[in-house]
Every structure is written in structure tokens, then in C-alpha cells.
Amino acid sequence: MNLYEIFRERWRARADAPAFAPPGRPVVTYGALDELAARIAAVLIDAGLEPGERVLAQVDKSVEAVALYLGALRAGGVFTPLNTAYTANEVAFFLKDARPRAFFCRPGTKDALAGAAAQAGASLVEAFSSEPENAFRRRVAGTAPLGGVAARDASDLASILYTSGTTGRSKGAMLSHGALAANARALCEVWGLRESDVLLHALPVFHIHGLFVALHTAFLNASKVIFLDRFDPAELRRHLGEATILMGVPTFYTRLLDDGLTREECAHMRLFISGSAPLTEEASNAFEARTGFRILERYGMSEAGIIASNPLEGERIPGSVGYALPGVEIRIADDSGKALPRGQAGSVEIRGASLFSGYWGLPEKTAEEMRPDGFFITGDVGTMAQDGRLRLVGRAKDLIISGGYNIYPKEIEAVLDAVPGVRESAVIGAPHADLGEGVVAVLVAERAPVDEAALKSALDATLARFKHPRRFYWEKELPRNAMGKVQKAQLREKYKGAYKA
Ligand code: MLC
């Protein structure tokens, strides 16, 4: 069961139906999308791609980029997308770790990355763009489409999604064809998604939210996607009248309100869905007061797809992420994995068909995060009400969520600690009106505070800009407990106003 085959069965009867409608560009039908994916699959196989080999891609959002994903699936490859904000330094790590057969990058970065890609074993290295004169596009256009779809089992990998980790080293979450199919089907069921729905898509396509949650559900219904290059509130508002579904991070919703979104503009909409970061009760209420819609909040992660969702019918409660999805078991457990009584706060652990298959090349790390009975320890802390509604109340892991991106402090601290003159650092999240949390660095100097320019240039050389702290504070020393562990809660309290002014 190749996931692509599941999509294609649905598309057969809908070959003339619009798949993608990117404003200002021609509509792409499901038939045309299938053919483009078949040509890309043929090119990948010509280049030597064997089933199970990785196709690593750091490419800009476009219909062609989605076709690249689909072509990799069709050829039996393991699609491994990368955030377009990652620096060459970060990409070099992913190349080494993923050892892809094929690597696709943006035209401007090919020279810098081609050597590392070849060293990692890539036999196809292409500068990818949606421009018609792009050499890879021309090669695709001149290649006969692959007739079939590579045979894959439910347990075979379809994708690896990299997430940073608490140790500072990124881990690739391995997702199987079966896991992705199970999650997409469950979502279509709980959100009542159907052929006539029109999805307004403004998310990036290198994370589960934009690539899997949003697109897989549309693909299963062969429904139309209005495909925007990026999130721009004014542009998005112009298309609400043609759409029925929007999926976004909380920042989308607060920016839409700030931009002047009106009730009339939402008249054609059926459902607004939010995830990837906590939606505040305040934002949820403000959105309902303005538009009449209660945003449906759901909870997910790369390792598990969507785990829980507020109901389509019935009350959507702000602050709760709703009920376990069909096929997903959630338990609130103590440190040993023993289930706690309802209402008590504990570790959120999950099991089910959509769970990942482990971290790529890291069996020990996988084992650390799995219970012997197959439950995955999410790292979130939550409570479950008597009626089964889940509420997230904290995080056991040191993680910042900014604008829907997960940012792990350890990685940033390692860069700051290496700057001459910095003795040590602690990176924390502080409330941020637009992004939910903003990144703050608290530093201790060897002698005197280091010039901020030196810190920024070290960050520029290594880390994607969304990870960069925009506030720097100097302390004589970091607060520690008796065990010597930095007391980040104290720092978060002290610097909670960092982004207020
Ligand atoms: C952009 N910037 C950010 C940022 N996004 N900084 C912190 N956090 C972010 N999320 C910075 C850039 O580095 C840049 O800084 C400046 O903001 C402007 O960049 P931009 O590209 O113009 O930003 P903008 O378009 O405003 O992007 C904001 C955003 C975007 C919220 C629209 O971040 C976004 O689309 N987020 C969605 C993330 C997402 O899809 N998450 C799903 C993960 S999956 P400078 O200094 O360079 O100018 C997951 C599981 C699940 O979590 O359940 O879904």
C-alpha cells in the first residue's frame, strides 16, 4: 500500500477536477498533478533511486514542490523536506545524516551544497524551482511518465521529518506509508472533510501541518486547494470567499484579526482549524466574537501526526485540544508510564496507527522515548477530563514554540557558548503577542558583556533566523538548583516582559 496509490485511486475519477489553484498561475488538475508526479518519479528512478532511499529537498513552496514530494512517494523514495530558513551549515548536517540518493535545493545554494551532497552519496543534485526554464523542470518535461507506482508495504517509510531535540542534535522522525494514511483518513472522518471542500493553504510545505495534515486530507477527497506562496493576511482574506477550510497556526488567526478580518468575509467558510502552537483563550474568543466561528483547535507533532482534536459537532473548548483521534490512544502517566486517574496532570503518552517508526539512525534515542508497551512519551504534560478531553498544561522538555515552529534552546546555547567572551548561556521563551513565544538569551560573560554584533554574527553563520534570540540579557551568574541544573523557570519569570515593549 503505497500512500500514492491510495491518493491515485481517488484521483482517477476526478482527473479533470482542480487540485491546485495558485493565484495568478494556471489551475493544475488532479490528472495533471498525477502526470507530473509520474514524470518526476521516472527521473528519480533514472537517477538510480531505489525504494527506501531518501530524497532530500530544501525547496520553495510551489505546486511543483508538492509534485516533487508526490513523485518521490510514487517512486518508493523517502521524502525528507527541510525548512527553507535553514542555513547551509544546518543543511550540511541533514545531508550527512540522511545520506540521500537525490538532493534538491534552491538555485542560489547549489554551489555551496553540491560538494556536501556528493560526499553524502547523492547521485542527483538539482537546483529546483518552479520557473519553466529551470533545468530540472525541463528534464522532467522531456521524460516519459512512470507507468506504475512502486510497491510499498504499510510499514515502509514514506518520509523523514527532522525535528530538533533537547540534546541540540536534530532527529529524523520516520513516518511510514501506513502511519500517514491512517492519520489522513482519521482526519477526514473527524473533520467531515469532503470532495466539495476548498482548502485555503498558506502554510509552509516542509512540516506535517502544511504537507501532511492539510494536503493529504485534500488529496484523499480530490478536493481543491487554493495554494498561496506564503501567509499574508490581506492576500488570504481575498480568497476566503472561495474557500471552506483554513488550517493555520495561531499567529495566522491573530494577524487576520489585526488586519481587519470581517464576519462577511468568512460567510462561505465552514471550518477554521488551528494547531502547531497553543491557541490562547483570548484569541479564540476574539475570533469568535468577530467572525461567529469557534476555531477548532487540535494537537499534533511530527512523531505522531494529529493526536487529538476538538469536535466538529459539539462544543469546542478553548484551552482544550479535544478528544483522541480515532485509532489513537492517549494516556496521562507518571514518570514510570503508569496511567494516572482522570483529572490528574502527567506525561502525555500516545499509541496508535499513526505513530512514527522511530528516529532515523537513533535506536537508543527512540527507545528512550518509547514505553515497552508501545506508548510514545510526547514530552508534553497534560490532564484528561472525565469525558476524555485533553488539556495541555506544560512541557517536560525544554522547547520554545514560536509562530508554530519548534525551537530547542540547546542548539542556540551551543552557538552562544562558543562565542569568545561568553562563559555560558541559557535560552528561554518569553510571551510574544504575535508569535506566542519569542526567543530570549540570558548570558554570563567571562569578563565584560560581549558586543551583540558578535553574538548575531555567530548565529547568522550557523542557525536559521527564526531560531535567533532577538533579546539578550547579561547576568553575573545563572540560577542553579542544588544539582547544578539551570533554573529556567526562574529566568522565564524574570524575563517574561522581554517582548512586551
Ligand atoms: C518568521 N520569523 C520567525 C518566524 N517566522 N521568527 C520566529 N518564529 C517564527 N515562526 C522571522 C524571520 O526569521 C524573519 O526575521 C522575520 O520573522 C520575517 O520573516 P517572514 O518569513 O516574512 O515571516 P512571516 O511570513 O511573518 O512568518 C510568520 C509565520 C510563519 C507565522 C507566518 O512562521 C509560519 O508560516 N509559521 C508556520 C509554521 C508551521 O507550519 N508549523 C507547523 C509545524 S508542524 P528576519 O530577522 O530574518 O527578518 C507541528 C505539528 C503540528 O508543529 O501539530 O502541526
Residue 199 to residue 20: CA distance in whole angstroms: 10
Look at residue 436 in the predicted model and tell me its pLDDT.
97
Grid cell listed for 282: 483570548
Look at residue 252 in the predicted model and tell me its pLDDT.
98
Which residue from 79, 142, 88 is spatially nearest to 111, judged by alpha carbons?
88
Cβ neighbour number for residue 146 with a 10 Å cutoff: 20
Phi then psi for 127, rounded to 5 degrees?
Answer: -80, 120
pLDDT per residue of the chain (501 residues) written in tens, 0 to 9: 899 999 999 999 999 999 999 999 999 999 999 999 999 999 999 999 999 999 999 999 999 999 999 999 999 999 999 999 999 999 999 999 999 999 999 999 999 999 999 999 999 999 999 998 999 999 999 999 999 999 999 999 999 999 987 788 899 999 999 999 999 999 999 999 999 999 999 999 999 999 999 999 999 999 999 999 999 999 999 999 999 999 999 999 999 999 999 999 999 999 999 999 999 999 999 999 999 999 999 999 999 999 999 999 999 999 999 999 999 999 999 999 999 999 999 999 999 999 999 999 999 999 999 999 999 999 999 999 999 999 999 998 899 999 999 999 999 999 999 999 999 999 999 999 999 999 999 999 999 999 999 999 999 999 999 999 999 999 999 999 999 999 999 999 999 999 997
Look at residue 169 in the predicted model and tell me its pLDDT.
85
Per-residue DSSP letters for 164-194? Answer: --TTS--EEEEEEHHHHHHHHHHHHHHTT--
Residue with cell 569568545: 420
Q: Determine contact, residues 204/176, Cβ cutoff 8 Å.
A: no
Per-residue DSSP letters for 368-435? Answer: HTB-TTS-EEEEEEEEE-TTS-EEEEEESS--EEETTEEE-HHHHHHHHHTSTTEEEEEEEEEEETTT
How far does residue 466's CA lie from ligand 1's centre (Å)? 7
435: Cβ below 6 Å to ligand 1? yes
How far does residue 403's CA lie from ligand 1's centre (Å)? 5
Cβ neighbour number for residue 370 with a 10 Å cutoff: 18
How far does residue 372's CA lie from ligand 1's centre (Å)? 36
Grid cell listed for 152: 510499498
- 54: enclosing H helix or E strand: strand 54-57
Domains of the chain, earliest start first: 3-16+26-176 (3.40.50.980), 231-395 (3.40.50.12780), 399-494 (3.30.300.30)
Cβ neighbour number for residue 427 with a 10 Å cutoff: 25
Look at residue 397 in the predicted model and tell me its pLDDT.
87
Query: 367: which strand partners?
Result: none
Query: 78: which strand partners?
Result: 54
How far does residue 404's CA lie from ligand 1's centre (Å)? 7
Query: Which CA distances in Å does 90 have to 82, 85, 176, 295, 497?
Result: 10, 10, 25, 35, 31
Number of the ligand 1 atom closest to the C-alpha atom of 230: 25
439 alpha carbon, distance to own chain's centre: 19
* Helices assigned H by DSSP within 331-463: 363-368, 409-417, 452-462
* Pairing label, strands 18-21, 224-227: parallel
Query: 431: which strand partners?
Result: 437
Query: Which residue's CA lies nearest to atom 47 of ligand 1?
Result: 465
Look at residue 104 in the predicted model and tell me its pLDDT.
98
Per-residue DSSP letters for 296-365? Answer: EEEEEETTTEEEEE--SSSPPPTT--BEEPTTEEEEEE-TTSPBPPTT--EEEEEEETT----BTT-HHH
How far does residue 435's CA lie from ligand 1's centre (Å)? 8
Pocket test of ligand 1: the residue of 251, 440, 466 to mutate, having most ligand atoms within 8 Å of its CB, is 466
| Residues 6+ away with beta carbon under 8 Å from 253 | 272, 274, 279, 283, 287, 295
How far does residue 289's CA lie from ligand 1's centre (Å)? 26
Number of the ligand 1 atom closest to the C-alpha atom of 251: 31
User: Is residue 68 classed as helix, strand or coil in its secondary structure?
Assistant: helix
Cβ neighbour number for residue 203 with a 10 Å cutoff: 23
Reported in sequence order, the residue ranges of 153-278 that DSSP labels E, i.e. its strands, are 157-163, 171-176, 198-201, 224-227, 245-248, 271-274
Helix count and strand count (H, E) for the chain: 15, 24
Number of the ligand 1 atom closest to the C-alpha atom of 208: 44
Residue 231 to residue 412: CA distance in whole angstroms: 26
Query: Which residue's CA lies nearest to atom 6 of ligand 1?
Result: 466
Residue 170 to residue 97: CA distance in whole angstroms: 9
Number of the ligand 1 atom closest to the C-alpha atom of 85: 13
Which residue from 27, 3, 32 is spatially nearest to 15, judged by alpha carbons?
32
Q: Determine contact, residues 378/301, Cβ cutoff 8 Å.
A: yes
Residue with cell 468577530: 290
209: Cβ below 6 Å to ligand 1? yes
Number of the ligand 1 atom closest to the C-alpha atom of 202: 35
Q: State in Å, rounded, how far the first CA of the chain is from the last one.
A: 53
Number of the ligand 1 atom closest to the C-alpha atom of 232: 25
Query: 394: which strand partners?
Result: 381
Cβ neighbour number for residue 238 with a 10 Å cutoff: 14
Residue with cell 501506513: 178
Look at residue 165 in the predicted model and tell me its pLDDT.
78
User: Is residue 400 classed as helix, strand or coil in its secondary structure?
Assistant: strand
Look at residue 330 in the predicted model and tell me its pLDDT.
98
How far does residue 204's CA lie from ligand 1's centre (Å)? 9
Reported in sequence order, the residue ranges of 224-291 that DSSP labels E, i.e. its strands, are 224-227, 245-248, 271-274
User: Is residue 95 classed as helix, strand or coil in its secondary structure?
Assistant: helix
- 234: enclosing H helix or E strand: helix 233-239
Residue 303 to residue 172: CA distance in whole angstroms: 9
301: Cβ below 6 Å to ligand 1? yes
Enter the pTM of the model.
0.97
